[in-house]
A and B are shown apart, each in its own frame.
Chain A
Amino acid sequence: MRELINYTLHLADNSLILGHRNSEWCGHGPILEQDIALTNIALDLIGQARYLYQYAARLINENPGASDLIFDASPVTEDTLAYFRDTRQFRNCLLVEQPNGDWAQTLLKQFLFSAYQYPLYTALQKSADKELCAIAEKAIKEVSYHLRWSGEWIIRMGDGTSESHKRLMHAFDELWMYTGELFIPSEEEKLLLNNGISANLVSVKESWMARVEQVFVDANLPLAHIRDQKPTIFQKGGKEGRHSESLGYILAEMQFVQRAYPGNEW
């Protein structure tokens, strides 16, 4: 049970933190339509996070002692999980918490993540856990929009002007090191895979890599740049709660109101 709770939180945290990052663009997009696109994606991601937090909260409430999380308030709700955990208790991958940077970096981050979420949720639709299965079935329709929109932007920028190409290459150098962790199973993922609950990250990676390489070719980006990266560049730790400094700043902004005025509502 502890593993299922932690895994559900990991999935939820990925969606919430990337959703929050995207929401930082609200009102700042290069043109209105793209601003709306990114905030729509933020809304989808935060919606997915809500389902997952609601499920995790239910598991925590129904199985006292199964989770090592301790909160003042009871019962635990989706809001408790989003607003009253600290950085070490967040289990999102490092990739999603990275700063937005410019448009190229934001879009590459979204593309790399959507290209991962798509095969992940495809696999989770066959999960032995009925709730994760239902959330994946719901979310994958939205993820296919995210993947298409971000993938088209990667091609547009890579195959665009020398400036957009240069910026995309820079974004790649900023983000690629955080992709390795997506495919390294945590202890929870290993255990849950044996029970048919979590996804097999080996096949998720194959599907991810095939899509990323195809988009890179279409975007006129050098494939060698992906293939020749030394394995030592890859960073990890997010799934276990060891984060880059960025997450603390995100939580400080996101959690401030609830920390200052617990239980406050709009």
Chain B
Amino acid sequence: MPELKIDTKTIEGWLAEVMDPEVPVLSVMDLGIVREIRQENGNLEIIITPTYSGCPAMDVITAQIRLAVAGRGFKDVKVTQSLQPAWTTDWMSEAGKQKLKDYGIAPPLPKQTVCHPDLFQMEEAIQCPHCGSWHTKRLSEFGSTACKALYQCQDCQEPFDYFKCH
């Protein structure tokens, strides 16, 4: 029997259907957490990296990735977690950032500015995803999930989540 070998792009296409359960507009491909796809002797291994250490979505994501590739003819499917190099929002796709914005979450800034421990740093300028104003204020650097901070727009007054750069 010929060994099954599927184009990596095709597998990535399947994974683009696997959504983050906490931010359902982003797929695991948009998030940039799929680090490697390996095929050997008809077995498939997908290596993913967590966004935050305690992210409770990782177990669900692992299960959903298995489901997405199940029944595609692989003998065995393995989803492995790798910690190094550590995930960064730089790996999020541009399409993913646009989807976040459309969903009402401000996407991470392209340049990482807050990941050092200096106290009382200048707040980052974050654009309101609702009205587009830059006149916004941070309410809390911790939000509804580990990856988000809570902001409020000073013009339209709407509170919003900011997917903080990491």
Contacts and interface: CB of A to CB of B under 8 A. Distances in A.
Interface of A: 33-34, 36-37, 40-48, 50-51, 118, 130, 133-135, 137-139, 141-145, 147-149, 151-152, 155, 215, 218
Main secondary structure of the interface of B (DSSP, over half): loop
B10 interface: no
Contacts of B139: 33
Contacts of A44: 52-54, 146
Interface string B69-109: 00000000000001111110000000000000000000000
B144 A36 contact: yes
Contact of B86 (A33, A137, A147, A215): A137
Given A147-B117, A152-B120, A138 B83 contact: yes
B119 interface: yes
Main secondary structure of the interface of A (DSSP, over half): helix
Given A44-B52, A47-B52, A138-B50, A145 B86 contact: no
A142 B52 contact: yes
Nearest to A214: B119
Q: Please tell me the size bucket of the interface on B.
A: 20 to 34
A131 B143 CA distance: 30
A151 B117 contact: yes
Given A137-B84, A218-B119, 10 more contacts: A33-B150, A36-B144, A40-B146, A43-B54, A43-B55, A47-B53, A133-B84, A141-B115, A148-B117, A148-B121
Nearest to B85: A137
Given A46-B54, A134-B84, A139-B53, A148 B140 contact: no
Contacts of B50: 47, 138
B118 interface: yes
Contact of B119 (A47, A135, A143, A215): A215
A218 B82 CA distance: 40
Nearest to A41: B142
A134 B82 CA distance: 9
A25 to B, nearest CB: 13
Contacts of B45: none
B116 interface: yes
